[in-house]
Chain A
């Protein structure tokens, strides 16, 4: 497997009222194609900052993020936008969507903006509908965003993130605002996408969700304190994976 994302000595510092706050301190890790990584850690440890920094949504104070051979910190704002539009997908905890558009329109909007696949508008709309069908939300395609449940909305966000066939998907607590059932549904969809070849990096507090990933990074005070591999090779059941993860987390002081 080739490395799709490499993080080298990543630092992120915020200055708040003349006080320096070092959120990320020399973070290093690599992500291979087809990987599915969960980033865990206590509140304020720098998980989300790490996710936003490695996804090019925020620029690091120091260090480097190499995505698909490109140093993100060297790209211009427009080049970064191109990368985010065509090669990355994003899922946010709060299920943000454009409020005046229907679910389908929200999903298809980035596809129409993208010139990547050379498809016609009709083909893009069809692909969006296929994705919605796959995630079982085709019935709400023409609904407004406030006419659907949280689970449906988050699945719509996943559709939107996948519409331009990204190489990597970033998810910031994708199940954080969902109940247990919806959370399981969304996680199953993400696992399915990963099985189809999409690389996923997600931030989560939920050990059950993280247990579905292949690797877990544990971050404390801006440093990666440990990494757990939950490879399929071990042939563990879901319950065993969760137990193994919980034990590991407890060892790290979770």
Chain B
């Protein structure tokens, strides 16, 4: 009996049952992939670091080992360590079929696989175990940035040693893979590496990388601060933090998954409620003829259970590749995954099935309360009828179809809340990402990277590593003057300076640690922005970041001893500033402080402040002139320099676009399925309108306008809430990166015109095509209305 009723039901209410099945499949796809992706992203960098075998503490030296190995060997804080030998090169040493590279970072690290301390992975996440002679693996992102492909040849010319290598592929490099680290590692074969080892003149470019296992990072850092030639030292946590931008991108999948899960459940609840309300009449009839509530209820629950299980299984099968696709789309440089395998996906789909059964149990709960007459009246008792029409045609100045659409939305807003919520949620995250990407591409963040100047030249051809030597103390200022003369000869006089980073041991309360100090000898420290206190006024004053304040437990007014090598200077903290350099772990010293180029660990860019402030057009022309004059590419305005420093604006843009595509897919699915449900629900009214002489065009217009209204409402809500919501989720991320006060850039063209326009346009097409189905309803359907 049950089976017969079910079979009849499935046949008779084919449309609604198919819609419900599709929603269940979607929910299962989104939830099964979503739950798995949430776990994957939460594991994120730890999973990658563990898989790569990164130690707890990492040190880079510029030449030789600087005594680090000795310290690590003797230290009681080190349980084990690994050492890699490397050669330092710049992108100027690399050519691709005669052309220069377009790398974000100047620094190249050449290594062999055989003595590597960590594991590298192919793009398909399998481990790199061998490199053929004459081949090279490069850090992920290199090929795309340089528009070259696997199999292409690169030439490395390192101080007379020339080597031509075929690109074997890209590697996922846990230490240097993040955009914030930004260096490119070239992994070559043992045989090719020996070419460099044989050439003694290259020893000055041969450095070391140490990975130490320790439970006392801070103590070890203090011990290592006594070593020489340290270019960079960091804990595993700091390396993890360097992936913050990649994690933002990966977090998108998490947010998207949560968003899709929410949308799925809301839609599922709506469709089940809607579907059951369609059944009320026959529920009433069954009650009237004396069938017990339990039997009626179980009949429907069995039906929904069958749909839930079918949809759940199909969704599970589709959810696994879908989830993998999403993760792979956002983890080009990371190995993301979890150890739970398929069980998480199965759990996700099982949740959907149980929730759906729960919803149907809840919704059929009304069966118990309703009298047969109530049920026949579609669940409404005569006494509880509520006023529906709130917008009279008398007050309306709109066309007929427009009036009907507005009246529908105003009369039964609850009916559209589900759709508005879905569109709003998806749009909110798209707009948020767009706002973040626009902010990254603007110059709003420039003061978190340095002083705002007109032009920045960061090209390796000019910013040479040779300056980071004893001679640099003379040659760098000479270079400033030379560039100033060149600029004058080009008719655009200006002042040239550069921010240089130094690694010096600093001592606070007897504890010594190495810290990066920033200094621009050609610019007064008070030309930078400070968030609290004042700029360093002399060599004995310093400014610090909130991150350093927390790390060293020093505050304004406290004193820190900086060991500049030849002299120790007791400096007072006079101000706080924010910076994203070194994830905020830097100090700013006065231009007169005795920092020396031989202790420099990095140089940023030649900054040019023109004497006459050029407008945007003039500035862009001057940038082109500078590029031509020096034959370099790395010349930027402040917005371009920000983008170059962060290196992820394009990735964010790509993710925003990916999210837009997924949003559009969700919008289209929701629109098509909901509009189809509405048509099904309104078939009587459509037939009536047609019977009394309304044309198809009118019905379609009415339905399309109705969806356009709710889409516009959703988009307005999303645009209005983009700023506060983005601030809410993105501020903590900026904070982690060192920026404590970020002004977002609201680009009206993106957030008011382009993105909402795309969503609106896609939705228009979707609802229009779906509404065409109303053409199949004719006036003769009046005869079939029950």
A contact residues around B684 at 8 Å (CB): 96
Once the chains bind, are B385 and A113 in contact (CB under 8 Å)?
no
B contact residues around A11 at 8 Å (CB): none
B contact residues around A92 at 8 Å (CB): 688, 691, 782
Once the chains bind, are A58 and B393 in contact (CB under 8 Å)?
no
B contact residues around A56 at 8 Å (CB): 779
Once the chains bind, are A105 and B389 in contact (CB under 8 Å)?
yes
Minimal beta-carbon separation of A90 from chain B (angstroms): 6
From residue 384 to 422 of chain B, which have CB atoms closer than 8 A to chain A?
A: 385, 387-389, 392-394, 400, 404, 407-408, 411-412
Q: Which of B17-25, B144-152, B694-702 contacts A (4 or more CB under 8 A)?
A: B694-702
B contact residues around A164 at 8 Å (CB): 693
Given the interface pairs A57-B782, A96-B688, the reply to whether A86 lies near B389 with Cβ below 8 Å is no
A63 on interface, CB distance cutoff 8 Å: no
Once the chains bind, are B783 and A52 in contact (CB under 8 Å)?
yes
For the complex, what is the distance from the CA of A164 to the CA of B688, rounded to whole Å?
16
Closest to B377 in A: A146
B692 on interface, CB distance cutoff 8 Å: yes
Minimal beta-carbon separation of B193 from chain A (angstroms): 78
A contact residues around B785 at 8 Å (CB): 94, 96
* Contact of A52 (CB < 8 Å), options: B382, B394, B782: B782
* Contact of A86 (CB < 8 Å), options: B407, B693, B695: B693
B690 on interface, CB distance cutoff 8 Å: yes
B685 on interface, CB distance cutoff 8 Å: yes
* Contact of B393 (CB < 8 Å), options: A77, A84, A112: A112
Of the listed residues A92, A98, A147, the one surrounded by the most CB atoms of chain B closer than 10 A to its CB is A98
Minimal beta-carbon separation of B409 from chain A (angstroms): 10
For the complex, what is the distance from the CA of A78 to the CA of B692, rounded to whole Å?
12
From residue 283 to 306 of chain B, which have CB atoms closer than 8 A to chain A?
A: none
* Contact of B389 (CB < 8 Å), options: A82, A144, A160: A144
For the complex, what is the distance from the CA of A96 to the CA of B685, rounded to whole Å?
8
B780 on interface, CB distance cutoff 8 Å: yes
Closest to A163 in B: B692
For the complex, what is the distance from the CA of A139 to the CA of B207, rounded to whole Å?
95
Once the chains bind, are A84 and B385 in contact (CB under 8 Å)?
no
Once the chains bind, are A144 and B693 in contact (CB under 8 Å)?
no
From residue 109 to 148 of chain A, which have CB atoms closer than 8 A to chain B?
A: 109-110, 112-114, 125, 142, 144, 146-147
* Contact of A49 (CB < 8 Å), options: B690, B778, B783: B783
A81 on interface, CB distance cutoff 8 Å: yes
B contact residues around A114 at 8 Å (CB): 693
Once the chains bind, are A48 and B685 in contact (CB under 8 Å)?
no
For the complex, what is the distance from the CA of A94 to the CA of B691, rounded to whole Å?
14
Once the chains bind, are A82 and B693 in contact (CB under 8 Å)?
yes
A83 on interface, CB distance cutoff 8 Å: yes
Closest to A57 in B: B779
B contact residues around A99 at 8 Å (CB): 388, 685
Once the chains bind, are B779 and A113 in contact (CB under 8 Å)?
no
A contact residues around B387 at 8 Å (CB): 144, 147
For the complex, what is the distance from the CA of A82 to the CA of B693, rounded to whole Å?
6
Once the chains bind, are A112 and B400 in contact (CB under 8 Å)?
yes
A contact residues around B694 at 8 Å (CB): 81, 85, 110, 113
Minimal beta-carbon separation of A216 from chain B (angstroms): 22
A contact residues around B691 at 8 Å (CB): 57, 84, 90, 92
Of the listed residues B392, B693, B782, the one surrounded by the most CB atoms of chain A closer than 10 A to its CB is B693
Minimal beta-carbon separation of B777 from chain A (angstroms): 12
For the complex, what is the distance from the CA of A20 to the CA of B412, rounded to whole Å?
43
For the complex, what is the distance from the CA of A49 to the CA of B695, rounded to whole Å?
22
Given the interface pairs A52-B783, A160-B692, the reply to whether A113 lies near B394 with Cβ below 8 Å is no
For the complex, what is the distance from the CA of A108 to the CA of B396, rounded to whole Å?
12
Once the chains bind, are B693 and A81 in contact (CB under 8 Å)?
yes
A101 on interface, CB distance cutoff 8 Å: yes
Given the interface pairs A112-B393, A112-B400, A144-B389, the reply to whether A100 lies near B779 with Cβ below 8 Å is no
Minimal beta-carbon separation of B697 from chain A (angstroms): 8
From residue 46 to 87 of chain A, which have CB atoms closer than 8 A to chain B?
A: 48-49, 52, 56-58, 77-78, 81-86
Given the interface pairs A52-B780, A57-B782, A108-B393, the reply to whether A98 lies near B693 with Cβ below 8 Å is no
Given the interface pairs A96-B684, A100-B412, A112-B400, the reply to whether A81 lies near B783 with Cβ below 8 Å is no
A184 on interface, CB distance cutoff 8 Å: no
B contact residues around A97 at 8 Å (CB): 688
Of the listed residues A77, A147, A161, the one surrounded by the most CB atoms of chain B closer than 10 A to its CB is A77
Once the chains bind, are A113 and B783 in contact (CB under 8 Å)?
no
Minimal beta-carbon separation of A47 from chain B (angstroms): 11
Closest to B407 in A: A100
Given the interface pairs A101-B393, A125-B394, the reply to whether A147 lies near B780 with Cβ below 8 Å is no
Once the chains bind, are A102 and B693 in contact (CB under 8 Å)?
no
Minimal beta-carbon separation of A33 from chain B (angstroms): 20
Closest to A114 in B: B693
From residue 651 to 707 of chain B, which have CB atoms closer than 8 A to chain A?
A: 684-685, 688-696, 698
For the complex, what is the distance from the CA of A85 to the CA of B404, rounded to whole Å?
17
For the complex, what is the distance from the CA of A125 to the CA of B689, rounded to whole Å?
19
From residue 451 to 468 of chain B, which have CB atoms closer than 8 A to chain A?
A: none
A7 on interface, CB distance cutoff 8 Å: no
Once the chains bind, are B407 and A101 in contact (CB under 8 Å)?
yes
Given the interface pairs A83-B693, A90-B691, A99-B685, the reply to whether A58 lies near B389 with Cβ below 8 Å is no
A contact residues around B388 at 8 Å (CB): 99-100, 144, 146
For the complex, what is the distance from the CA of A144 to the CA of B392, rounded to whole Å?
11
For the complex, what is the distance from the CA of A99 to the CA of B392, rounded to whole Å?
13
Minimal beta-carbon separation of B227 from chain A (angstroms): 79
Once the chains bind, are A104 and B392 in contact (CB under 8 Å)?
yes
Closest to B780 in A: A58
Given the interface pairs A96-B785, A110-B693, the reply to whether A105 lies near B393 with Cβ below 8 Å is yes
A88 on interface, CB distance cutoff 8 Å: yes
Minimal beta-carbon separation of A225 from chain B (angstroms): 22
A contact residues around B698 at 8 Å (CB): 113
Minimal beta-carbon separation of B323 from chain A (angstroms): 41
Closest 10 CB pairs of A and B: A85-B693, A84-B693, A57-B779, A58-B780, A100-B411, A105-B393, A96-B688, A81-B695, A102-B389, A146-B385
Known: A83-B693, A101-B407, A160-B692. 15 other contacts (CB 8 A): A52-B779, A52-B783, A77-B695, A78-B695, A84-B692, A84-B779, A92-B691, A92-B782, A98-B688, A101-B393, A105-B389, A105-B393, A113-B400, A113-B694, A147-B385
Between-chain CB contacts (< 8 Å), 5 pairs: A49-B783, A58-B783, A81-B695, A109-B393, A146-B382
